[in-house]
A and B are shown apart, each in its own frame.
Chain A
């Protein structure tokens, strides 16, 4: 009792530190350091933008899905991504930034999204590979975030992770079905995996030695594992899945290391990574142009909805 009583009179910084120390959640009305708030806004916004931009590479195949069942699965998946974007923008709103503001920062190139979506989708197998490897990597990154220190973010992540793991299984199921099909289909799967393997490994971010934000984010409990830890976990998880599927990864250095109890693997092309991050990836300009067009084309509809709501409110007011 004494301790609790004492705490409530503490400096807000001390209360915040103690909450983090205990592993409890910070909630929207709690005091928080400005740096913590900014870090969270940056991370949640980046995550939300990734969901929204991530609708494009797969969404482009909805109209070409090769069976009605696959079309339904893909349409529902892209719809789920819009839903994830919604929860995450809502989580960011609890930190005092609106969806509109964040969208404008994205379109102005002042906030980022996951670089993986700057790679093109070139065959229907890519829909499966994105589900298996890209969603798989995203899950490795995101599961620890369910325990992140900021309450609304952690709770959004629990729901998102459940749906992502469903998408991952669906992606793997598409690939394994195609592998039971024709030679052309098997070749299509292998070609797709060859293209996406390295970009998927890059999704965990630069090596720990070059990751400037990791230490502070871990101290605040915003981030729970380092980039290299998560990358290793992903490789260890994916190799047996590839074997079961009957595909190989394009890495001659990939082999089991008995001593470490992990797979050894080669080094991603970090120059390519930096190029893509800096805006020179195969699809950076295309993805942002698409989002800007959709946003601009929809402006008159959003304005109409607001104007109509205002008129309705005014009419109710007059009726009183």
Chain B
């Protein structure tokens, strides 16, 4: 919430330095709206692709993890001025800011690994790569899971979605800390601290809503039924994920499925909630979010997110 107020003029260094040094981010300037006071999130970082790694595969993988964070952050940010109380408004904004910071680093990493993933803009456009990727791609080019993009729903829906999302992402990033790509390893190390808090926050609300009132339990169970079909996609591997895992730079999410399940089982048991008997949401001929096959909601969300940027393709912000 009340962050320190660093002098933006003094903050000429890269916040990324803080990543590599494993600073405790609490109370550090970098905790203030991570990534607000520099232009290139990876400024000064060696972004050479490690030997034996396919740059295009690495970029595609970074887009998957980056788009998950970007789209989820966007949905969470819709709570600003709408949360059940001020404390929760602040907490959800913090979570959205953390994920936005992760998205910026990952999109920048994707662009550095393989510049051909960045959409072409008019010659001389000052739009940086991370923004070209966020604001000038079509829905079909986004690689996020569908769980991240569905509309925001009520508070119970957000709690369930955040629990499923942060549990799976935490398990993936915890392993990604060992990536052969030092850039991804550093991004993961920072992300693990953030996601540990997100998962804890969502888990505590899950229990509170399950045990609070009849109304809160009813809403929680309804939300769980609605969101559960989107869970399987979080722990299924796309061929790109399998390939980068084999190359030692990425993580195969199907390998963390069991440990994710243990955590969720624990939360369900403590809360006295049965596992929903809902099957996974089908794709189209096997294609899902990771392949660029999305729900109807994503293009509408992007229409709003991209409207100002696209009106000014040569704009300077």
Contacts and interface: CB of A to CB of B under 8 A. Distances in A.
B2 A68 contact: no
A170 B35 CA distance: 14
Contact of B97 (A72, A181, A300): A72
Contacts of A52: 81, 86
Interface stretch (A23-31, A80-88, A205-213): A80-88
A76 B36 contact: yes
Contact of A298 (B83, B94, B96): B83
Nearest to A293: B82
B93 to A, nearest CB: 4
B315 interface: yes
A76 B83 contact: no
Interface size class, chain B? 35 or more
B250 to A, nearest CB: 23
A174 B97 CA distance: 19
B90 A79 contact: yes
Q: Which 5 A-B pairs have the closest CB atoms?
A: A304-B212, A298-B84, A76-B33, A304-B216, A181-B316
B5 A166 contact: yes
B79 to A, nearest CB: 9
Quick one: which of A55, A63, A303 has the most chain B CB within 10 A? A63
Interface stretch (B52-60, B112-120, B161-169, B301-309): B301-309
16 contacts: A55-B80, A55-B89, A64-B308, A67-B131, A67-B317, A68-B134, A69-B36, A82-B81, A181-B317, A185-B312, A297-B82, A297-B84, A300-B216, A301-B84, A301-B216, A304-B209
Interface of A: 52, 55-56, 59, 62-73, 75-76, 78-80, 82-83, 85-87, 89, 124, 159, 162-163, 165-166, 169-170, 173-174, 177-178, 180-182, 184-185, 290, 294, 297-308, 311
Contacts of A311: 211
Contacts of B80: 55, 59, 62, 75, 78-79
B100 A298 contact: no
Contacts of B87: 86
Among A65, A72, A302, A307, which residue has the most Cβ atoms of chain B within 10 A?
Answer: A72
Given A63-B74, A86-B86, A294-B81, 16 more contacts: A67-B131, A68-B70, A68-B130, A72-B35, A76-B97, A79-B1, A82-B90, A82-B93, A124-B308, A174-B317, A182-B315, A184-B315, A298-B84, A301-B88, A306-B212, A307-B216
A82 B81 CA distance: 8
Contact of A65 (B5, B85, B308): B308
Given A73-B33, A86-B86, A290-B81, A78 B93 contact: yes
B182 interface: no
A64 B36 contact: no
Interface of B: 1-3, 5, 8, 32-36, 39, 70, 74, 77-78, 80-90, 93-94, 96-97, 100-101, 103-104, 107, 126-128, 130-131, 134-135, 154-155, 207-209, 211-213, 215-216, 219, 304-305, 307-309, 312, 314-317
B316 A185 contact: yes
Contacts of B154: 297
* Majority SS at the chain A contact face: helix
A79 B100 contact: no
A308 B316 contact: no
Given A64-B305, A68-B134, A185-B312, A59 B8 contact: no
Nearest to A160: B2
Contact of A163 (B2, B77, B305, B308): B2
Given A63-B78, A79-B80, A300-B213, A159 B2 contact: yes
B288 to A, nearest CB: 25
B140 to A, nearest CB: 21
A72 B76 CA distance: 13
A79 B130 CA distance: 24
A66 B135 contact: yes
A308 B208 contact: yes
B86 A303 contact: no
Contacts of B74: 63
A69 B134 CA distance: 11
B213 A182 contact: no
Contacts of A165: 5
Contacts of B33: 72-73, 75-76
Q: Which of A299, A303, A305 has the most CB of B within 10 A?
A: A305
Contacts of B127: 67
B137 to A, nearest CB: 13
A298 B8 contact: no
Given A80-B2, A185-B312, A63 B305 contact: yes
A179 to B, nearest CB: 9
Contacts of B36: 69, 72-73, 76
B211 A70 contact: no
A301 B223 CA distance: 14
Contact of A76 (B3, B126, B314, B317): B3
B212 A305 contact: yes
